[in-house]
Amino acid sequence: MKKFFALVSFVALILSASVGSCGYLDGNAVYPKYLDAQKVYVLCGVHAGTAWYVNRKSVDVTLFDPPRFQLAVEVAVVPRAGDGDLTAEYMRNEYFYDWTARKMYAVKSGEKIFIPPYGTTAELPSSYDGELAFFIAYGKKFYGELYADKNSAFNKDLYDNIEHAVLIPN
C-alpha cells in the first residue's frame, strides 16, 4: 500500500511540474506561457478557449507627458488555444494611462474607453495586455499594484512571464 501511495504521489508531482512549466491551466486546457520559441509573445490572458499574447518587443510610447502616458502594443489573439490550435490573429492595441487617477483607457478610433481595474474575465481581457504594455515600458505595475487582491489576473505570474522573457537576448 505504501508503494502505491508513493507511486501516486510521484505521478502527481511530475504532472504538476509539467503543467507549471507549460503555462496557464484553465479547466482542462493548458495555454503555453509563450507563443514562440524566442519568447517574444508572452501570455497575458485567457478566456473561454481564447488566449492573448503581448509582443514584448512591440511596445511603442506614443505619449510621454507624466502623469499621462499612451502606449501601443501588438497583441496576438489565439481563438482556439484551448484546443491546442495556436494559429494567431494579430492586432495593434493602444492604451492611455492617467497615473494620478490610476485609470486606464483603450483608445479606439481616437476615442478613450475606460477599462475598469477589476471585473469578470469576459469584461476585462484587454486590460491585461494594457497592463503588461505599461510594465514592459516602465517597469511598474499600473493596476496590478493596487488591485491584485480584487483581480486574480494581476498575480505574480502575469509579471513573471515578462521578467523571464526579458532575460533572453533580443
So where are the chain's domains?
32-166
Segment 17-69, tens digit of pLDDT: 333 334 455 555 788 889 988 889 999 888 888 899 999 999 999 999 999 99
Q: In this model, does residue 83 exceed pLDDT 50?
A: yes
Q: Which pLDDT value is given to residue 44?
A: 86
Per-residue CA distances from 60 to 35, 57, 96, 101, 116 (Å):
20, 9, 12, 22, 22
> Inter-axis angle of helices 156-166 and 125-138, to 10 degrees?
50
Q: In this model, does residue 161 exceed pLDDT 90?
A: no
Segment 93-119, tens digit of pLDDT: 999 999 999 999 999 999 999 988 877
Segment 136-160, tens digit of pLDDT: 999 888 887 776 666 556 666 677 7
Output phi, psi for 150, to 5 deg.
Answer: -100, -15
pTM over 0.85? The answer is no
Q: Which pLDDT value is given to residue 6?
A: 39
Which pLDDT band holds residue 165 (cuts at 50, 70, 90)? low
Q: Which pLDDT value is given to residue 76?
A: 96
Which pLDDT band holds residue 14 (cuts at 50, 70, 90)? very low
Q: How many CB atoms lie within 10 A of CB 11?
A: 10
Q: Which pLDDT value is given to residue 5?
A: 37
